[in-house]
Structure 1
Amino acid sequence: MRKLFDKIWNDERGNVLVVMGATLPLFIGAAGLATDTIQWTLWKRQLQRAADSAAIAGVYERIQSDTEAGVKDAVDKDIALNHHTGIALSTGYPQVSRLADSGDMRQRVQVVLSVARPLSFSSMFMTSAPEIRATSVAASVPGTDEYCVISLEDTATTGITGSGNAGVEMDCGMITNSTAPNSAIAKGNVTMEASVIASVGGIQESDNWVVDKYDPYVSKMEDPYANLNPNLDELDCDTEKVVVRGGPNETISVAPEINGDYDFAASKSANGGDAINCFSGIDVGPSETVNLPAGVYYIDGGNVNIQGTVTGTDVTIVLTNSDSASNATIGTFDMNAGASLTLTAPTSGDWAGVAVYQDRRAVDQAKQTPNKINGGSTGIITGVLYFPNQGLAYNGDGTSTFVCTRIVSRRVTFSGNNTTGNTNKFEDDCSHAGIPAFEGGRLIRLVA
């Protein structure tokens, strides 16, 4: 018997046909499995891309409204645009979840998608079509850019505008919470140079922007001074309110018994070394100079109008009102052309780094810019200009020195004339001046 098998085994007639017949099912099976695997992988990749895109869309909507229905609608709309498998989602999908914050990750949204469709080869051996599932989680995460200018405008109104012949040069960036398609605009002959221009809304590129990167559709920037409020109990406004007026090179020094306007001819020692901290306003004429001693100057419902020269070290000017009513009048800050303001904010204490502060009870004046400050070459502001609910126009011909000026305002408009080659220059690292680094512009990223 063994000899018979050896004979058959060594017989070469028809061997190839026998071997091919025996292995053909294996070749067909391998080809079928390979085809199914490629098709399954393609559907899985397309489904994962759709889930990723939908999760990101959900986070954007959660930042804006944070409602379950709004996030679900945003996810559905995105899937309608970006689900390219050609297979209808399984019943019960998409599954959308608003997850809780986790560490630095906020506004997390999870999207789960699933499709079921028979595979051409595997379906011969399976009683039901396989489920292909994709899960994605997106969140807003901290950004790493540092900003010199923050616009808190959070409607569809433009937040940052450069116009005229203004020149701006920054070692840091600018960001606005505006949701407008043109949330930041640079027009005319303006040159806006910064490390980054970022926005919750859209930004149209132009030759007026000289930036390392455009960063539209970032998460909302938080107000860095949202918890800073004037302590109205510190205001001594009952009897000693005065309007700050000054002649040439005079220094504020107020005796407690003086009411109304005062020329500050008396020495500070007339009041035992303490200056009154509550004023009706500051009004400095074109030929006048006022030197402000160190301290916090509360302006009780009045305005600041500077046409001459004002200087001060370790000084904060606070536009507020001793009346705690929500509709109490809050004044504005107007520094006219030709005026000079050399102001340095304190480096410690509650008002560290803040040069000018406007109470957030100030009424927004419908896209106008009631506050005006010249960034001219004869005056330098070291500190933060804070106008959270009104616009600020920052004008001037510029200075040749980089300065630690920061702007946090509802809207910011840069204008002026840099035809002489001067520009308003902003330095990035101002920790020595008590000014924190404003990092933010939270980014929307996939996290799982």
Structure 2
Amino acid sequence: MAIVVEQTAPTTLCRDCGWLSGTSQTADAPADRCPKCRGHRLLSHSEIASLSIAHIDCDAFYASVEKRDNPDLRDKPVIVGGGHRGVVSAACYVARLYGVRSAMPMFKALKACPDAVVIRPDMNKYRSVGRQIRELMEELTPLVEPLSIDEAFLDLTGTERLHGGPPARSLALLIKRIEERFSLTASVGLSYNKFLAKVASDLDKPRGFAIIGKAEAKRFLADKPVGMIWGVGKALQATLARDGIANIKDLLAYEEAVLVGRYGAIGRRLYSFSRGEDQRKVTPDSPTKSISAETTFDEDIGDLALLRGHLWPLCEKVARRLKAQGLAGGTVVLKLKTGSFKLITRSHRLDGSTRLAEVLYREALYILTKECDGRVFRLIGVGVSELEPLSHADQGSLIDPDRPRLIRLEDALDRLRDKLGPDAIAKGRGFKPMPPRKPLKKSE
């Protein structure tokens, strides 16, 4: 999909073979066919040869991997996600026709599409495929900024001579290689900055290739809802609507200082993005900002003792991930979702950073105890933010003289698990929580 403006004659690219108008061709062909390969996936745009910032997003990645590995699922609606109480991690395009979407509660998804095949996520498999796809991206440019397992920004500025053509051609050939090697499809957005590249990649899914150039950016954005701007969620969108700002063009009437004064730091983004401006660079290996783990219960839980039992394994999981990445966290974050799907997030800044499960547990339990006021919860999660190198962690202080003992104990447990396996030893609180016993009925 290309957004064409009346300007100089547009350049045409064949997405099937990489042919560009103005280059050699083998024979005459109809106007809607490539003169080299006779393919029909032609893309024309006046700025196609000058744009170099791309966003690549694999189409329904988890579900597509499962369909690839099991041909019997090819024409069936497939949902990847948790059980009845979980949420949708991914839905194939057949399931999406029924209204199924990512992050939708599973019971709603199955109500909308009762014949769907539900598959538990296999994250190791998805990560393996994602790494191989990323290696192909890195063959085009070292400037690859991953956003998730299956999507990334690429900056191909200055790669024309290396790859024998403009970035658009290199991207088309990359997507063809992904399809041939992995039997998966991906969509591309190409523009002059990250914001517009990400917007473009959503315009023509699946197997799409959309371009937003400088000449048309403001006109393209004008009538789009403000929710298209990254970071504008439902709450901010409602606030903006109350202020008479529904579409992106409505933001153009305000100076940056006014928007910042009214909406805080995000006002700068509202100002620049609404004008098609984004100064962010494509940065490979962006530092991890947070590490977390969560679980969804089979039944809603309101009892603190049961919630506490679920909390400890999550803290251990987060601690293992911290140590594996050589990091420590300075802020503990507790996440809860009520039975009515209201999301609650609470955080507490530590006196220094930690990588210890025990410290995470104590802080998270302190927060959890205050939230247990009779409500029931369907999900609990714990995480850490404000990450820094492991060498800065658990320095100890007069406030916590017990920290050195905790370090020795947890390091000893880690050594045993490394030698004998992750389940070799566990604390009692790590045992699966048992529901409270029902009182026995007296016999008549």
- Which protein has the larger Cα radius of gyration, Structure 1 or Structure 2? 1
Structure with bigger RCO (C-alpha 8 Å, 6+ apart): 1
TM-score range, shorter chain: under 0.3
Q: Which has the higher strand share?
A: 1
TM-score by length of 2: 0.19
